[in-house]
Amino acid sequence: MSDLDAATDQELLSAHVAGDPAAFGVLFARHRDRLWAVALRTMGNRDDAADGLQDGLVAAYRRAATFRGDAAVTTWLHRVVVNACLDRLRAAKVRRADPLPDDLEEYRDRGAAASAAPATEDPADLSVRSERRRLVLDALTALPAEQRAALVLVDMEGYSVAEAAAVLDCAVGTVKSRCSRGRARLAEVLAPLLTDTSREADHPAAGNPPPTRTVGSTEAPRGPPTPA
Amino acid sequence: MTHDPDPRSDPAPAEEQVRRLLADARHTEPMPEDVVARLDGVLADLAARPAEEPAPRPGRAERVADLAAARRRRTVRNLLVAAAAVVLIGVGLDRVDLSAGDADSATSAGGSAESADRYERDELNSGEAPQGAVPNDSDLRGVDGALALPPVRLSPERFGTQVRRLQDEARVSALDSRSYTAGKSDLARLDAAACPTDAWGSGRFVVVRYDGALGALVYRRVHGDTQVVDLFLCGSDEPARSVTLPVP
């Protein structure tokens, strides 16, 4: 293992700024899958995600010396990439002919880890999952870019609200508001996929009703004939 | 003081279900190999240009030396490009295909020769080009009627790599300020093919076929050490793709 592989993110960035030609590549390789996931979900399709990620990569490489160290390096990397993606979306310089994310079908056939579902999953269940994901991603793509980015970071990537605020370079309350409004909008669009828990509370429980108490006979019990 | 609830901690039932749906739709696959290769290429480009590395600023003498070295590199590159152009004309083939091959040819003469080898006669008209209103490549003649250089073929999957390669190769060499008017002949070719370009803005134009559709790459004016390249397709005023490149 080389020294660079053992270095922390901060050390790699410092080495890059000091002129190490390999340091930034190691840093980027370390985080690229997660950056890719964020870019893909923010942009909505793989071509635009690749373009946005390249913008962010070039910007991060060039601006590494401006990193102030007031956040984690990975947070800063995400910030640069997300901003590059949002800049593209805001400038409307993205392809809109095919608004549906196109990665689901494409990745299904790639590699041994292609499907997140277990190999033994029922094909019907797999189809339902795939269709549900498609609907969710379709609805996500229709959200305003800022709301989408907040939801991608918080609900998809699992960042805390504070971390997402650092990535998006805005107030924590702004992230909360964007998440809340985005989820509310998604709840409307995805209503057919949601279970109506409030209505279920008024309904009887599923299955057979519990047995009622047996009613006793008013006649004398029948017994064996008594001998005369 | 009112407490603003954290949306992660106390969501409404519907909101919680939405969160679960979003979590289930999280992308868990690694970055695709073609994107890895593309971005690794960009990183290699960036790392191969020591004069532009974010290292401490050099002194005046070093800057002069760097500028001289850059000028020499440009001169060599332009000579190679000119030589490659002569080879292309000499061969007399009429199709360029950048959609094949993975290796970056960079700025070497070998790379340009590779491009020459990838010329493919009549392949564009063999079925990829849409029929009907889409301009035919045979319409892409210069304003004087001379046979113009045919469109470069780009594929959606390898767009970034191909655009970067084109930046280095003959088609968009010498990206100085004069080049931004030098693409007018390509503009005229598109206009002749009933493909209006008025709304595409200024830049160095390179006629391309992208996924079978005719259009142009527009290499914008360099800002700082980066350059934006937009892809426009005939019939649309919005860029179909856009990418940022480090400047050679």
CB–CB of A38/A145 below 8 Å? no
pLDDT at B81: 55
Contacts of B233 (CB under 8 A, 6+ apart): B210, B213, B214, B215, B240
Q: What is the mean pLDDT of chain A?
A: 79
Question: Shortest Cα distance from A218 to chain B (angstroms)?
Answer: 52
Interchain contact A163–B (C-beta under 8 A): no
pTM (two decimals):
0.55
Q: Does A72 contact chain B (CB < 8 Å)?
A: no
* pLDDT for residue B6 is more than 60: no
Instruction: Identify the CA nearest to B244 among candidates A44, A134, A87, A215.
Output: A87
Q: What share of chain B is helix, strand, coil (3-state, %, to 5)?
A: 45, 15, 40
The pLDDT value given to residue A17:
92
Tens digit of each residue's pLDDT (9 = 90 or more) over B29-86: 899 999 999 999 998 888 876 544 444 444 444 344 444 455 555 555 555 655 555 5
Torsion sign across C-alpha atoms B97, B101, B107, B110: negative
Q: How many CB atoms lie within 10 A of CB A89?
A: 19
Q: Is A108 on the interface with B (CB under 8 A)?
A: no
Rounded Cα distance, A57 and A78, in Å: 10
| Amino acid at position B201, single letter | G
- Count other Cβ atoms within 10 Å, centred on residue B23: 13
| Per-residue pLDDT at B95 | 44
Model confidence at A68: pLDDT above 80:
yes
CA distance B247 to chain A (A): 10
CA distance, residue A209 to nearest chain B CA (Å): 27
Helix, strand or coil for residue B136?
A: coil
CB contact at 8 A, B124 and B99: no
Q: How far is B149 from chain A (nearest CA, A)?
A: 27
Q: Which of A35-39, A149-153, B147-151, B173-177 has the lowest mean pLDDT?
A: B173-177
Name the residue type at position B238: E
pLDDT at position B52: 47
Q: Do A113 and B6 touch (CB under 8 A)?
A: no
In this predicted complex, what is the ipTM? 0.70
> What is the predicted pLDDT for the residue at B138?
52
Chains A and B form CB pairs within 8 A to the count of: 166
The confidence score (pLDDT) of residue B39 equals 93
Report the residue of B1, B4, B15, B18 to disrupt the A interface, i.e. the one with the largest count of A CBs within 10 Å.
Answer: B18
Q: Among residues B96, B70, B72, which one has the least CA distance to residue B150?
A: B96
Q: Does A90 touch chain B (CB under 8 A)?
A: no
DSSP β-bridge partners for residue B153: B97, B209
Query: Which residues of B fall within a CB distance of 8 Å from A51?
Result: 159-160, 241-243
Is residue A153 within 8 Å of A160, Cβ to Cβ? no
Q: Look at residue B11 in the predicted model and tell me its pLDDT.
A: 54
pLDDT at B189 over 60: yes
Measured between alpha carbons, how far is residue B27 from residues A53, A114, A180, A192, A208 in Å?
15, 11, 22, 23, 42
> Which of B51, B159, B166, B47 is CA-nearest to residue A58?
B47
Q: Is the dihedral of CA B126, B132, B134, B139 positive or negative?
A: positive
User: Contact, A184 vs A195, CB < 8 A?
Assistant: no
* Predicted pLDDT at B1: 41
Phi, psi angle pair for B233, to nearest 5°: -110, 145
Give the mean model confidence (pLDDT) for residues A136-148: 93
- Are the beta carbons of B239 and A33 separated by less than 8 Å? no
pLDDT interval class at A214 (50, 70, 90): low
Instruction: Select the more confidently predicted residue: B205 or A223.
Output: B205
Under an 8 A CB cutoff, do B43 and A137 touch?
no
Distance (Å, whole) CA B128 – CA B212:
5
Tell me the pairing of strands B241-246 and B152-154. Answer: unpaired
Rounded distance, CA B177 to CA B244, Å?
Answer: 18
Cα separation, B103 vs B168, whole angstroms: 14
Weakest mean pLDDT among A20-29, A35-44, B134-143, B182-191: B134-143
Which residues of chain A make contact with B242, given a CB cutoff of 8 A? 51, 88, 93-94
Which residues of A fall within a CB distance of 8 Å from B26?
A: 37, 41, 156-157
Can you tell me the distance from the alpha carbon of B238 to that of A94, in angstroms, rounded to the nearest whole number? 8
A114 and chain B: CB distance < 8 Å anywhere? Answer: yes
Residue B158 has a pLDDT of 80
Considering CB atoms only, which of B4, B15, B43 is closest to A173? Answer: B4
pLDDT score of B172: 55
Share of chain A above pLDDT 70, in %: 71
- Binary contact (B28, A18; C-beta < 8 A): no
pLDDT band of A227, cuts 50, 70, 90: low
The whole-angstrom distance between A75's CA and the closest CA on chain B is: 19
Q: Which of A186-195, B40-49, B105-114, B121-130 has the highest mean pLDDT?
A: A186-195
3-state secondary structure (DSSP) of residue B16:
helix
For residue B87, pLDDT over 80 is answered with: no
CA distance A17 to chain B (A): 6
Please name the residue of chain A whose CA is at the shortest distance from the CA of residue B243: A51
B18 close to A186: Cβ distance less than 8 angstroms: yes
Is A80 or B167 the better-scoring residue by pLDDT? A80
Lowest-pLDDT range of A150-164, B51-65, B219-233: B51-65
Please spell the DSSP secondary structure of A121-180, one letter per residue: S-HHHHHHHHHHHHHHHHHHHTS-HHHHHHHIIIIIS---HHHHHHHHTS-HHHHHHHHH
Q: A193 pLDDT band (50/70/90 cuts)?
A: confident
Contact between residue B137 and residue B124 where contact means Cβ atoms under 8 Å apart: yes
Q: What is the pLDDT of residues B138-186, one digit of tens each?
A: 554 444 444 455 678 888 888 888 888 887 764 554 444 334 444 556 6
Give, for B159, the enclosing helix (H) or strand (E).
helix B159-168
Residue identified by tokens 């100085």 is B176
Identity of residue B189: R
Q: Which residues contact B15 (CB under 8 A, 6 or more apart)?
A: A180, A183, A184, A187, B7
> Which residues in chain B are contacts of A96 at CB distance < 8 A?
238
Q: Which of A33, A95, A104, A108 to mutate to test the interface with B (most CBs of B within 10 A)?
A: A95
Distance CA B176, CA B183 (A): 12
Mean pLDDT, residues A54-62 taken together = 93
pLDDT of residue B89: 47
Least confident of A106-120, B142-156, B213-227: A106-120
Q: Does the distance separating the beta carbons of B21 and A61 come in below 8 Å?
A: no
Does A31 touch chain B if contact means CB atoms closer than 8 Å? no
Indicate if the pLDDT at residue B220 is higher than 80.
Answer: yes
Confidence (pLDDT) at A36? 95
